[in-house]
């Protein structure tokens, strides 16, 4: 993928974006969705911007900022999540020369201001993350500053850490950008502010002795305020303490053995403490600083267990948010399995558990991390089902700008997608599906409610109940209908009925997940403007409205999108992405292909999809021509001429080797 070419791309889909971002005013919440000031729906298709891999920069030099803003827009990105800005320069905004973390590096801040102004010009909104990776120093006045790293959990209750978070928010959001001539709190291109990244309190929380004691003292103060003397005496008896001794918190092995009443009381404390932090920060951002965009508390990010207690506090703010990865390289369940063969634990089903009725829902981290033989399935499946579930935003993790050629043209990191020859073309295809709403929202949405007791007890359910942790709720449901939470503190909705049909078809009829006995599953997307065959296409040939394939690859993702507002049957231009596998030169797998022993070097290599793409039911075509595209979206080789056979147009692909094509139809 070549992001530095000055030539215009034949696959440029920046026409999806309104320029400049925020031209109509501030994004707001209306019902279950994000809307523009006039009430028009807006969805976000985005990237996180980070700099973890070799040669990357989160904040580009001024000479590169216009180019990278244009690149992101060209792939259909209309919002970026500015993540890890609270690292020391040159990685983030914090002045690393000082003995505290409370001052910005002015040169870095100026570069970020300029970059944001360029993003804004190209129709790209901003999602500011406040507390992500901040580490503390002696001058911050933080106890045990050198032992707590990012202070996960502590940031939700320690007064000094909360004070520092508010100061950071004030400095950033009241900062005047000289290039936009606005403070960020007054800039309508700032679409979302997120308070903390992947952060929560939980029963059994453990830190340094100072913070453990502090939290226990807070707990005992809460008990005196909220429990009657009789209940307090009973709790002391259950905890085995007397007199004025502090009632200890439950730790690890004690949790499951504790009396239910003691457990419930402590869970009440933790959920209320979390909620109070989020509400206090929300009030500070909105009422004190005057932030005008919607606010996210944090993300539902741990799918090995139930997150419903955390959702009780998260759901009190404007937007719900979720994170997940298919076979995260650090996860125990990394088994080198295709997601199409495991639909009920798919990213779609995992993420669907978090959405609330009456609240917008975004996914601010998602990926099929490299190296993954099945990565081509991830983006088209997610884009299609996210549109079906009617979510409001997807932010892939991550896009990293490279400064030098030796760091380009390969995949240097599990999460960096910027030069991935499969994922980047699919980002463009996914933007067309999701931003245009090519897949219709579900005709029926299944809402579920829980009692508070169910929420608290869900933490004890076995992993076999994942990802919903709702006995009786089939993970088939979000593949067939919309799925939302109605309440976490009301009457239980009880059991849910479903069928065992195969394929699993969405209630709109546009999506189908075909299950096979020999684990060669396939997902199909069949709409007017976007159609796709994803998975074991060779073993499961399917004919869609306008698309079929006869290919040699065992596993691939073939997606065809109209490049204007017309359906595939009537359009003159289409984007065809045909993706299988990608590796780096010299990459070495371990024996079971679950990890790499050597991730390799540039250039990246692809397994091209080879065979015939077949187009049906086109309206009065006289010719079909296809151009293979290079990494900058320019034509390579001679155009491929479609052959008319029995009323269908056959297109031979695979030479020259590429993952994307422009399809032209003459009439």
31-41 confidence digits (pLDDT tens): 999 999 999 99
In this predicted structure, what is the pLDDT of residue 331? 75
pLDDT tens-digit map of 462-478? 989 999 999 989 999 99
The rounded distance, in Å, linking the Cα atoms of 31 and 34 is 8
Per residue in 41-75, pLDDT (tens digit) is 999 999 999 999 999 999 999 999 999 999 999 99
Phi, psi for residue 366 in degrees, rounded to 5: -160, 145
Which residues have C-beta within 8 Å of that of residue 424, sequence separation ≥ 6?
A: 1, 75, 417, 418
Strands, E assignment, 133-205: 176-177, 182-183, 190-196
pLDDT at 401: 94
CA–CA distance, 72 with 418 (Å, rounded to integer)? 10
What's the CA gap between 59 and 230, in Å, rounded?
58
Q: What is the rounded average pLDDT of the residues 478-497?
A: 92
Q: What is the rounded average pLDDT of the residues 270-276?
A: 97
429, pLDDT greater than 80: yes
Evaluate if residue 243 carries a pLDDT over 90. no
Question: Do 348 and 382 touch, CB atoms closer than 8 A?
Answer: yes
How far, in Å, CA of 443 to CA of 271, rounded?
A: 34
pLDDT of res. 495: 78
Max CA separation in the chain (angstroms): 91
Distance CA 82, CA 68 (A): 14
Backbone angles phi, psi at 340, to 5 degrees: -60, -25
**Cα torsion 313, 316, 317, 321: sign:** positive
Residue 341, pLDDT above cutoff 90: yes
Phi, psi of 343, rounded to the nearest 5 degrees: -60, -30
Q: Which of 122, 116, 114 is nearest to 19 (CA)?
A: 122
Write the DSSP symbol of residue 345.
G
Residue 479 above 90 pLDDT? yes
* pLDDT at residue 302, rounded to an integer: 87
pLDDT tens sequence across 567-623: 999 999 999 999 999 999 999 999 888 889 999 999 999 999 999 999 999 999 999
pLDDT at 334 over 70: no
Question: Among 149-158, 329-338, 430-439, 592-601, which stretch is predicted with the lowest mean pLDDT?
Answer: 329-338
CB contact at 8 A, 598 and 642: no
Q: Which two three-digit tokens encode residue 663? A: 């399809």
Q: Is 519 left (phi over 0), alpha (psi -120 to 50) or beta?
A: left
Measuring CA to CA, how many Å separate 349 from each of 245, 377, 392?
A: 46, 15, 16
Of the candidates 341, 388, 392, 614, the one whose C-alpha atom is nearest the C-alpha of residue 510 is 388
CA dist 515 and 517 (Å) reads 7
CA 324 to chain CA mean position, Å: 7
User: Average pLDDT in the 649-667 region?
Assistant: 97
Residue 540: name the closest of 568, 562, 559, 512 by CA: 512
pTM metric for this prediction: 0.97
Average pLDDT over the chain, rounded to an integer: 96
Helix (H) / strand (E) element for 332: namely none
CA 459 from centroid of its chain's CA atoms: 24
Cα dihedral: 440, 443, 449, 454 (round 10): -70
* Omega cis (within 30) before 463: no
291, 193 Cβ separation under 8 angstroms: yes
Angle, alpha carbons 282-287-291 (nearest 5°) = 75
Whole-number Å distance between alpha carbons of 618 and 358 = 40
pLDDT, position 310: 97
Q: How many residues does the chain have?
A: 667
Q: Which residue has the higher pLDDT, 395 or 499?
A: 395
Q: What pLDDT is attached to residue 5?
A: 87
Q: Could you give the CA distance from residue 439 to residue 527 in angstroms, rounded to a whole number?
A: 6
What pLDDT, on the 0 to 100 scale, is given for residue 333? 62
The confidence score (pLDDT) of residue 451 equals 96
pLDDT digits (tens, 9 = 90+) for 513-548: 999 999 999 999 999 999 999 999 999 999 999 999
At 585, list the tokens.
């030169």
Distances in Å between the alpha carbon of 213 and those of 154, 206, 235?
12, 10, 19
Are residues 258 and 237 in contact, defined by beta-carbon separation less than 8 angstroms?
no
* Token pair listed for 247: 């009632």
Per-residue pLDDT at 435: 98
Taking the C-alpha atoms of residue 628 and residue 638, their distance in angstroms, rounded to an integer, is 8
In Å, how far from its chain's centre is CA 83?
Answer: 12
> Which range (112-121, 317-326, 496-505, 639-648) has the least confidence?
496-505
Q: Rg for the chain (alpha carbons), in Å?
A: 26
d(CA 171, CA 404): 32
**pLDDT above 80: residue 332:** no
């Amino acid at each position: 993928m070549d992001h530095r070419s000055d030539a215009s791309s034949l696959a440029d889909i920046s026409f999806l974006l309104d320029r400049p971002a925020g031209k109509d005013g501030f994004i707001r919440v209306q019902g279950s969705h994000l809307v523009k000031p006039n009430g028009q729906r807006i969805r976000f298709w985005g990237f996180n911007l980070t700099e973890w891999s070799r040669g990357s920069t989160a904040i580009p030099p001024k000479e590169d900022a216009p180019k990278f803003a244009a690149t992101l827009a060209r792939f259909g990105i209309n919002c970026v999540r500015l993540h890890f800005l609270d690292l020391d320069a040159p990685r983030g905004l914090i002045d690393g020369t000082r003995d505290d973390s409370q001052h910005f590096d002015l040169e870095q801040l100026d570069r970020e201001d300029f970059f944001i102004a360029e993003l804004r010009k190209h129709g790209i909104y901003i999602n500011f993350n406040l507390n992500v990776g901040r580490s503390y120093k002696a001058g911050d006045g933080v106890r045990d500053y050198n032992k707590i790293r990012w202070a996960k959990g502590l940031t939700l209750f320690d007064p000094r850490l909360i004070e520092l978070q508010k100061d950071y928010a004030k400095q950033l959001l009241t900062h005047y950008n000289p290039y936009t001539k606005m403070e960020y709190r007054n800039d309508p291109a700032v679409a979302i502010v997120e308070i903390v990244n992947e952060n929560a309190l939980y029963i059994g929380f453990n830190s340094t002795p100072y913070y453990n004691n502090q939290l226990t003292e807070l707990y005992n103060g809460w008990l005196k305020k909220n429990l009657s003397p009789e209940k307090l005496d009973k709790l002391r008896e259950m905890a085995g303490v007397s007199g004025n001794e502090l009632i200890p918190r439950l730790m690890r092995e004690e949790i499951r053995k504790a009396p239910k009443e003691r457990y419930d009381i402590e869970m009440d404390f933790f959920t209320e403490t979390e909620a109070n932090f989020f509400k206090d920060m929300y009030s500070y951002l909105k009422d004190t600083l005057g932030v005008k965009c919607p606010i996210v508390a944090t993300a539902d990010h741990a799918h090995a267990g139930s997150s419903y207690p955390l959702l009780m506090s998260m759901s009190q703010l404007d937007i719900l948010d979720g994170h997940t990865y298919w076979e995260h390289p650090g996860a125990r369940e990394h088994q080198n399995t295709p997601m199409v063969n495991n639909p009920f634990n798919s990213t779609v089903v995992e993420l669907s558990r978090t959405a609330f009725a009456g609240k917008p829902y975004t996914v601010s981290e998602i990926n099929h991390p490299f190296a993954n033989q099945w990565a081509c399935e991830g983006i088209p499946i997610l884009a299609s089902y996210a549109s079906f579930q009617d979510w409001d935003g997807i932010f892939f993790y991550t896009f990293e700008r490279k400064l030098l050629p030796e760091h380009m043209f390969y995949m240097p990191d599990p999460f960096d997608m910027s030069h991935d020859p499969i994922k980047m073309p699919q980002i463009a295809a996914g933007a067309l599906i999701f931003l245009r709403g090519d897949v219709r929202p579900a005709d029926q949405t299944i809402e579920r409610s829980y009692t508070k007791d169910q929420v608290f007890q869900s933490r004890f359910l076995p992993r076999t109940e994942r990802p919903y942790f709702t006995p009786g709720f089939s993970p088939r449901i979000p593949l067939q209908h919309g799925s939302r939470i109605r309440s976490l503190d009301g009457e239980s909705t009880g059991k849910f009925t479903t069928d065992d049909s195969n394929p699993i078809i969405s209630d709109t009829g546009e999506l189908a997940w075909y299950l096979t006995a020999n684990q060669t599953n396939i997902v199909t997307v069949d709409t007017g403007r976007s159609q796709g065959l994803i998975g074991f296409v060779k073993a499961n040939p399917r004919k869609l409205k306008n698309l079929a394939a006869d290919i040699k690859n065992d596993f691939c993702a073939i997606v065809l999108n109209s490049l204007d507002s017309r359906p595939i049957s009537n359009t003159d231009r289409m984007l065809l992405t045909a993706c299988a596998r990608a590796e780096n030169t010299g990459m070495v797998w371990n024996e079971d292909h679950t990890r790499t022993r050597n991730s390799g070097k540039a250039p990246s290599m692809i397994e091209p999809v080879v065979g015939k793409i077949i187009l049906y039911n086109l309206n009065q075509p006289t010719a079909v021509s296809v151009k293979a595209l290079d990494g900058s979206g320019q034509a390579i080789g001679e155009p491929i001429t479609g052959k008319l056979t029995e009323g269908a147009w056959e297109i031979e692909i695979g030479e020259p080797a590429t993952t994307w094509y422009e399809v032209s139809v003459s009439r």
